Amino acid sequence: MKLTAEEIQNNWIDLEETIKSYISEPRRSQLLDFYSQYAERIMMMPASYKKEYHNAFPGGYVDHILRVVDCALKLNDVWIEMGVDNSTYTKEELVFAALNHDLGKIGDEEHESYVPQTDQWRKDKLGEDYTFNTKLAFASVPDRGLYLLQQHGIKYSFNEMITIQTHDGLYDEGNKKYLMAWTPEQRPRTSLPFIVHQADLMASRIEFEREWLPKFKTNTPKNFKLDTPSITSTEKKIPIKTKALGNIQSENLKNMLKNL
């Protein structure tokens, strides 16, 4: 994949517009200042260092972030339609977390995370167009992102902190403490982390498909068709209670269900 200079430029404008549309003051101005301070670095950086991962090309980071924001807004509608309690988070928190979930990838104030790979063998054989900048002290992506925000005086809510921290879901073992708790008290009190994780997963998967599936096209079975009967309109019309009653033998149970 390759983005044109115009696409990179337009993505940057979209990123600024996203901040203006969804983030309220004072964070709107603070984020715009922050992003403009690192504009050149963020605008041109990849989303990952290796071709096999996702969006490992110039401009890939912003392209990924915009897709995650889009996916998060769309998935949020689905979650609401399916009955999520959306009073536990705000749309601003949703967009703020999606927008900054990978912020730690930009590096620190002086050093960028990904620098062009100089080892031609690793480039050719391992697809590593970039490599990690060894001048940078190690930190996980969420930790570094949250650190950068607080370094620039940009406050984040508790919901946003947990969501950024756990955006990799259970792909990051460290998130087990939040996502695999056995007692209800220890589980997140909002579904926001799950929505943003799904959005990130969806965006990365789509980026993988766009980059890699065309290369595997010949392996796709051409005439493969599942022999699944379609649901007829008559089946749809039978009320669930009637269908359930039809299968029950016990008279007592039938009476109980009739009274429901």
Contact residues: Fe ion, CB under 5 A: 102, 200
Sequence-distant (≥ 6) Cβ neighbours of residue 160 within 8 angstroms: 93, 96, 97, 100
Nearer to Fe ion, 27 or 167 (CB): 167
Sequence-distant (≥ 6) Cβ neighbours of residue 104 within 8 angstroms: 113, 139, 140, 141, 142, 143, 144, 145, 146, 147, 148
CB of 193 to Fe ion, least distance (A): 14
Strand partners, 131: 115
DSSP 142-160: HHHHHHHHHHTT----HHH
Nearer to Fe ion, 31 or 99 (CB): 99
Nearer to Fe ion, 123 or 208 (CB): 208
CB of 68 to Fe ion, least distance (A): 6
Sign of the dihedral defined by the CA atoms of residues 20, 23, 29, 33, in that order:
negative
Nearer to Fe ion, 172 or 257 (CB): 172
CB of 48 to Fe ion, least distance (A): 9
CB of 196 to Fe ion, least distance (A): 9
